[in-house]
Amino acid sequence: MDIVSPWVVELSRFQFALTALYHFMFVPLTLGMVFILAAMETVYVVTGKQIYKDMTQFWGKLFGINFAIGVATGLTMEFEFGTNWSMYSRFFGDMFGTPLAIEGLMAFFMESTFVGLMFFGWDRLSKGAHLAVTYLVALGSNLSALWILVANASMNVPHGAHFDPETMRMTFDSFVAVVFNPDAQAKFVHTSVAGFVTASMFVMGISAFYLLRREHRSFAAHSFRIAALFGIMSTIAVITLGDVLGRLDYMHQPTKVAAMEGLWHTSKPPSEPWLLFAIPDDQKQTNYFEIGVPYVLTPLLTHTFDTPIEGIDELQEQAGPRIENGIKAVTALRRYGETRQQSDLDQFKLYEKDMGYGFLATRHAPNQDVSSITAEEVPNVVAKTKLDIFPNVFVTFWAFRIMVFLAMYFFIVFAMASYLSLKRQLEKYRFFLRMVMWSIPLPFIACEFGWITAEVGRQPWTVFEILPTFISSSTHGTGYMIFSLCGFLLLYSIFIAAELYLMFKYARLGPPSSDSATATQSSH
């Protein structure tokens, strides 16, 4: 495997991060909004009250705008794997391509077909049939997310696959193992439910806007109630699943956890604090201005009071022998590619589990060829490679904290919103309504930072402990990368501007028939 220019790798990473973050501005709202629509339509079918049909149609219009633009931003990303990450696609294509293909064939088509029926079927379908269609759109949207997250989980915690030295690719062992990968399960539920939180805040925020302006009051209060209860339950679920994901990372991705917690040295249980604030310095491997809550970190991560959590220094020491073994594995693999001798294959098999660390050492090998490292050079190469095994601590630490702090804020806001709505006192607390309205962007920000935590925390690997990022990209020139990056930046910014313009326009217009009289009007 040849080394690509570091500039091209960084530009490829930046381009993918940018397009993924743009796309992920639309996804959570789609995932959650459609289940809120299903809840509203369920009430309409059960009670027959017109206001719930109006609610489903109005919020459905905003969902439709988000859905259409969100799909457009997602399509380009699938091609990016081939254009910018061709080494990765060749190496890991079987594992990654299969869930992506299923997503396209099954979930996306299901979702798109039923979306049409949902929007245009109000006068053509019975109430029950239309409700079933809405639930199928909800299921389809979330199944789309499921397959993407199954693919993503395979990169974070590879499951159900092995490396084939004959083809130099990862090969499937078990499709069931890939789908039921514990990381995929927890990631899917966490991401899906984070979408529920996003949509709840969106509906609540716009409803608060109407209540503040004393417009569409009944419509807004009804919508607010559904969104508040939907939101509080979803926030509890998202925090619970966040804990599950943190524990899975602790067990399978210790470097990510150490970076998330700014843990340069192995923890001292049980008093190790959970850091509320710190400024991690990646160069000096230390934190400045630490403020923490003692006795929290150990039980939070390990669910015990006496288990130490490995810090970056200890993880680097543990990586030393793995890098040495990895160098032997890659050297044997290269020899086997030339000679096809069984002895070389046996040698490779002996050190196969550390192969990724051998690839990681490539950057520091003479002529970037691991097989040319002499016995005298090994300690030097190992020492340099050890510094590469953990992600950017500052970014991972703060991305994680912003997400967590926002989740705590959402819990308080949704709890208050549910209480005030149930007591019918929303309009008395205008400051709270204003707070809710201005909180609309926050769940989007939390989702973005959650994604950054997961993906920056996975570095320096595209496939954790198997394939390093710096040998995963395509061999483009920097000119091509800058040109395509500018193109994406421009195109996606237009998409975002269009989304914001349409959302503001239709949210300001409000529902067509919305005075309080409709609250009791029956469609029967």
Partner 1 sequence: MLTILLRFAGLGLVLVVALLIAVFVGDQGPWYFAWLVGTVMIVLIAVAGAILFDTQADGQDSKGEY
Using CB under 8 A as the binding rule, whether residue 237 contacts partner 1 is answered as yes
Rounded CA-CA distance 190/400 in Å is: 14
Near partner 1 by CB under 8 A: residue from 230, 250, 414, 492: 230
Closest Cα to residue 122, out of 54, 30, 71?
Answer: 54
Assigned token pair, 156: 């974070």
Beta strands (DSSP E) in 127-283 are 161-164, 169-172, 274-281
Block residue for tokens 């935590």: 453
- Site residues (CB under 8 A) for partner 1, limited to 50-69: 52
Shortest reach from residue 497's CB to partner 1, in Å: 32
Block residue for tokens 């639930």: 135
Identify the helix (H) or strand (E) that includes residue 5.
none
Shortest reach from residue 160's CB to partner 1, in Å: 13
Residue 424 — φ and ψ, nearest 5°? 55, 50
Rounded CA-CA distance 206/208 in Å is: 5
Shortest reach from residue 495's CB to partner 1, in Å: 29
Shortest reach from residue 185's CB to partner 1, in Å: 4
Residue 49: beta bridge partners?
A: 522
Using CB under 8 A as the binding rule, whether residue 225 contacts partner 1 is answered as yes
Near partner 1 by CB under 8 A: residue from 6, 7, 14, 47: 47
Shortest reach from residue 102's CB to partner 1, in Å: 15
Shortest reach from residue 522's CB to partner 1, in Å: 11
Near partner 1 by CB under 8 A: residue from 23, 216, 222, 401: 222
Burial class of residue 505, CB neighbours in 10 A (0-12, 13-18, 19+): exposed
From 61-69, 212-220, 314-322, 479-487, span contacting partner 1 (CB under 8 A): 212-220
Q: In this complex, which beta carbon is closest to partner 1, that of residue 35 or of residue 108?
A: 35
The count of other CB atoms within 10 Å of the CB of residue 146 is 23
Using CB under 8 A as the binding rule, whether residue 151 contacts partner 1 is answered as no
Rounded CA-CA distance 8/18 in Å is: 15
Beta strands (DSSP E) in 122-255 are 161-164, 169-172
What character string, x for contact with partner 1 (CB under 8 A) and - otherwise, covers 279-318?
Answer: ----------------------------------------
Q: In this complex, which beta carbon is closest to partner 1, that of residue 156 or of residue 298?
A: 156
First to last CA, the chain: 69
Using CB under 8 A as the binding rule, whether residue 110 contacts partner 1 is answered as no
How many Cα neighbours within 13 Å face the side chain of 492?
Answer: 25
Q: In this complex, which beta carbon is closest to partner 1, that of residue 82 or of residue 182?
A: 182
Block residue for tokens 């997503």: 103
Closest Cα to residue 344, out of 371, 304, 308?
Answer: 371
Whether 394 contacts 282, CB under 8 Å: yes
Near partner 1 by CB under 8 A: residue from 17, 18, 43, 416: 43
Rounded CA-CA distance 89/100 in Å is: 12
Using CB under 8 A as the binding rule, whether residue 81 contacts partner 1 is answered as no
Shortest reach from residue 156's CB to partner 1, in Å: 15
Using CB under 8 A as the binding rule, whether residue 46 contacts partner 1 is answered as yes
Near partner 1 by CB under 8 A: residue from 4, 206, 241, 456: 241
Planar angle of CA 192, 59, 78, nearest 5 degrees: 45
- Site residues (CB under 8 A) for partner 1, limited to 167-196: 176, 179-180, 182, 185-186, 188-189, 192-193, 196
Closest Cα to residue 433, out of 202, 197, 204?
Answer: 204
Shortest reach from residue 321's CB to partner 1, in Å: 34
Shortest reach from residue 230's CB to partner 1, in Å: 4
Identify the helix (H) or strand (E) that includes residue 135.
helix 127-156
Using CB under 8 A as the binding rule, whether residue 520 contacts partner 1 is answered as yes
Per-residue CA distances from 80 to 6, 141, 485 (Å)? 18, 22, 11
Rounded CA-CA distance 374/388 in Å is: 21
Residue 102: beta bridge partners?
A: none
From 7-15, 42-50, 395-403, 456-464, span contacting partner 1 (CB under 8 A): 42-50
From 390-398, 423-431, 435-443, 450-458, span contacting partner 1 (CB under 8 A): 423-431
Shortest reach from residue 179's CB to partner 1, in Å: 8
From 113-121, 425-433, 486-494, 495-503, span contacting partner 1 (CB under 8 A): 425-433
Positions touching partner 1 (CB under 8 A) are 35-36, 38-40, 42-43, 46-47, 49, 52, 176, 179-180, 182, 185-186, 188-189, 192-193, 196, 211, 217-218, 220-222, 224-230, 233-234, 237, 241, 244, 418, 421-422, 424-428, 516, 519-520
